[in-house]
Amino acid sequence: MMDQRAPLPYAYLRQVPAFTVVSDDLVDGGVLPGAHVYESGNVSPHLRWSGAPEGTKGYAVTCFDPDAPTGSGWWHWLLVDIPAEVGELPRGAGSGAMEGLPKGAFHGRNDYGTFDFGGAAPPPGPPHRYVFAVHALGVESIEVTPEQTAAVFGGTVNHHALARAVLTVEYGV
């Protein structure tokens, strides 16, 4: 039987080279741990990346659920203007007190309406995919304001992307 789920978010966008992202909290293809679920902790995961191309001037980190029953997916995390010398976000950098959030980086409004990481909260049914992506950008700043829509953030990040590292996990209730 063919997979009936929505395509992954980068399948139909301009293709860019890949680099590497790993996590002390997440395993690519694995199950999202409870600490990163909205009702069970809501803590942003640790992410570490390497191998971005020459010319990278900054990064963005996003988390998107293409399986949300909205017709347009669900943005869980939009973090931009991460300086080029940063290669890691500690657990919690995008949530709570945001310890470890790089200087100059800021959050866009996620689909919960907050300016931080919002954990998984799918309705009952098949597991949803949570696509964590680190985008290597050719600019230091994507020049958006936090109040702009997630679509503006996503489009602007993709426009400036030189390369992308992706880690996908699943969670369902």
DSSP for 11-34, written as a single string: TTSPP--B-EEE-SS--TTSBPPG
Q: Is residue 5 part of a domain?
A: no
Q: Which pLDDT score is estimated for 1?
A: 47
What tokens does 6 get?
A: 């929505």
Q: Is residue 3 part of a domain?
A: no
Q: Is residue 14 part of a domain?
A: no
Q: Is the pTM of this model over 0.85?
A: yes
Q: Is residue 118 part of a domain?
A: yes
Q: Which pLDDT score is estimated for 4?
A: 82
pLDDT tens for the 173 residues of the chain, in order? 456 889 999 999 999 999 999 999 999 999 999 999 999 999 999 999 999 999 999 999 999 999 999 999 999 999 999 999 999 999 999 999 999 999 999 999 999 999 999 999 999 999 999 999 999 999 999 999 999 999 999 999 999 999 999 999 999 99
- What is the tally of structural domains in the chain? 1
Q: Is residue 124 part of a domain?
A: yes
Q: Which pLDDT score is estimated for 3?
A: 64
Q: Is residue 8 part of a domain?
A: no
The domain in which residue 52 lies consists of 20-171
Q: Is residue 125 part of a domain?
A: yes
Q: Is residue 126 part of a domain?
A: yes
Q: Which class for 150: exposed (0-12), middle (13-18), buried (19 or more C-beta within 10 A)?
A: buried
Q: Which pLDDT score is estimated for 152?
A: 97
CATH number at residue 81: 3.90.280.10
